[in-house]
Every structure is written in C-alpha cells, then in structure tokens.
Amino acid sequence: MQYIRITDIHDPLFTKMHQLMQTVFPPEEVLEFSLWEEPLADDGIRVCVAVHQGEVVGATEYRYYEDVNVAMTDFTIIGREGLGVGRFLAERRKADLNAWAESCGKKLYGMFAEIYDPYRVEQLAFGGVKPMDPFVRREVLSHLGYKRLDFPYVHPSWNNDGEAVSGLDLCFLPIANDLTELNADLVASFVKRYYTVLPNKPQAWHDMVKQLEEMETIPLLPI
C-alpha cells in the first residue's frame, strides 16, 4: 500500500478520492469538486490517499497550525475492509505531523477532530462501509486517545448554505496524556480560523463561538 499526497485537482487519484468521499459522507460534509483546487495547493494542508493496486482505498486530510502548535484531522476515510487501511493512515499521518512540528522547532501539542455522535446520527449509513460506521469510528478515536470537548458543538455546512450541522462532537488528542482541559481561547480561535473558508455561517455557530469566548477552560472527557 502506498501513501501519496495529492496536490493537484487534475490528479486522477483526486477524482477517485472525491468519489469515495461522496460514497461514505453525507452531502453537507463534502466540498464541491472545483473548490478543492486551493486547499490541495496549500502548503499548510495535507491531502493523502492510501493506494492499493492502483485504487484509492482510503484517504485523510489534515493540517498543522504552527503558531498555536496544534493539528486538525479534517477526515479519515476507510474505503475497504481487511487491508489495515485505518492503521496505515493513522501511522503515516502521525509520523508526518511529528516531523512537520519538529521542522518548526516544536513538539506537537495535540490534534483536533470532529466525530459524529452515533446516538444522534444513526440514520447515516456512510455508504455501507462498516469501518466508517459512527459507532466504530468513535471507538477507534477513543482507542487512539482522543477526548471529547465538553460543550455543545455545531459547524457550518460545507455546502456553504448557512445551515448548521449538529450531531457531532469536537474532540482533541492531547500528546500529554495527563491533560484534562483545554484553554477555551485556543478552541475559539481554532474554530474561527478553521471555518474562515465558509462565509455563510449559521447563527447557531456564532452563538457557539460567543459561548466559547466567555469560558476560561473546557474539560476533556472520555469519548
């Protein structure tokens, strides 16, 4: 299996990855094809695929913010069972992020990720791919060490239609295992920065940010 970074919207591997995304994610979670051109060319973002026998069997997108020393896993897709795709992607991503932070003279503080709460989104089948089932994905993140940030989370729809997407938790993987809370300013600045790309934000999202800005710390709880 190969781990390949995609930097060009015209790369045939990107077409296969985007088709895979449309198979496993709900429409509001998938950025329209042409809008990927800038993210793919951005040095601060990695879009990588797992390729097996010429086919894209998995993918992950992530980014690193040097100034605050945190990363974000935008998504992880396991497109085929029985190949160890999830472990392969997680290990390659971790190694790349650690090297990325070290090149900036830092040791990675931690990594954010959004995860569906399966008790609120049982209707999402994720293309019938069992490893993408919300119950499975949630347990995998728990095993990796992610913790849930204890506040009501919503995010703007990637359709950029001003709709709020709920049913998710914002989670954080602390590199220091004894970390029990995050500075609320870090979380607020992160979500504002992360969703800058979407100009049409729902009022529920603005209300959430305001709530974060009024808090001092946010507990990290088990998933």
Q: What pLDDT is recorded for position 40? A: 93
What pTM value is reported for the model? 0.86
Element (H, E) at 165: strand 164-165
Residues whose CB falls within 8 Å of the CB of residue 128, separated by 6 or more in sequence, listed in order: none
Residue 157 has a pLDDT of 87
According to the model, what pLDDT value does residue 208 have? 96
Round to whole Å and give the CA distance between 205 and 35: 22
Nearest to 19, CA basis, from 30, 8, 10, 6: 30
> Which tens digits make up the pLDDT trace of 108-135?
999 999 988 877 665 555 555 566 666 7
Say if residues 88 and 58 touch (Cβ distance below 8 Å).
yes
Q: How far apart are CA 93 and CA 61, in angstroms?
A: 9
* pLDDT tens by residue, the chain, 223 residues: 999 999 999 999 999 999 998 888 877 778 889 889 998 999 999 999 999 999 999 999 999 999 999 999 998 999 888 899 999 999 999 999 999 999 999 999 999 999 888 776 655 555 555 666 667 778 888 888 999 999 999 999 888 888 988 888 999 999 987 899 999 999 999 999 999 988 899 999 999 999 999 999 999 999 8
Spatial CB neighbours of 146, under 8 Å, sequence gap ≥ 6: 113, 115, 171, 172, 173, 223
Calpha distance 183→219 (Å, rounded): 9
- For residue 215, the one-letter residue type is M
Architecture of domain 59-221: 3-Layer(aba) Sandwich (3.40)
3-state secondary structure of 136: helix
**In degrees to the nearest 10, what's the CA dihedral of 103, 60, 49, 22?**
-150
How does pLDDT run across 192-219, given as a tens digit for each residue? 999 998 889 999 999 999 999 999 999 9
For the chain, the domains span 59-221
